[in-house]
Structure 1
């Protein structure tokens, strides 16, 4: 059985690569020779992506803040 760290690395690399590829595909929508869109349409895309990134960051920050401290002190 793989340890947690190696699973994290394997899945993290695969998922970030996939997400990056999808973001590039979304970026292709900016080509006005192929697509018609308004500034409002673009802003809706940015808002949706920003909201998801905020949720993602919050999940990691919450998980990291729950970790026990490495240092032990009495008093």
Structure 2
């Protein structure tokens, strides 16, 4: 039982740290001097992220959520 806990902590710390870093990188896309984007693009990005976050969160509550495997802004 203790090994499962250690493994959970190890994986959770690594994965959450990686996700947090990736979110910071997404935030860097807000630099209008380097990138051109529309407000609709921003809404799509955060809607997709929120959907995945809600899905992951529901798994801890015993609910199953839908999962999309790919995110695309383009048509």
Superposed, 1:27-42 pairs within 5 Å as 27-42=27-42
Per the normalisation by structure 2, the TM-score is 0.79
CA distance in 2: counterparts of 1:27 and 1:48, whole angstroms: 15
Greater relative contact order (CA < 8 Å, ≥ 6 in sequence): 2
Cα deviation for residue 42 of structure 1 reads 0.2
Instruction: Report the structure number with the largest CA radius of gyration.
Output: 1
CA distance in 2: counterparts of 1:46 and 1:22, whole angstroms: 13
CA distance in 2: counterparts of 1:53 and 1:19, whole angstroms: 11
Aligned residues: 62
Quote the RMSD (CA, aligned, Å): 1.3
- What does residue 16 of structure 1 align with? 16
User: Is 1:5 aligned to 2:10, yes or no?
Assistant: no
Could you list the runs of 5+ residues in structure 2 that have no partner in the other structure? 64-75
User: Is 1:60 aligned to 2:60, yes or no?
Assistant: yes
Could you list the runs of 5+ residues in structure 1 that have no partner in the other structure? 64-75
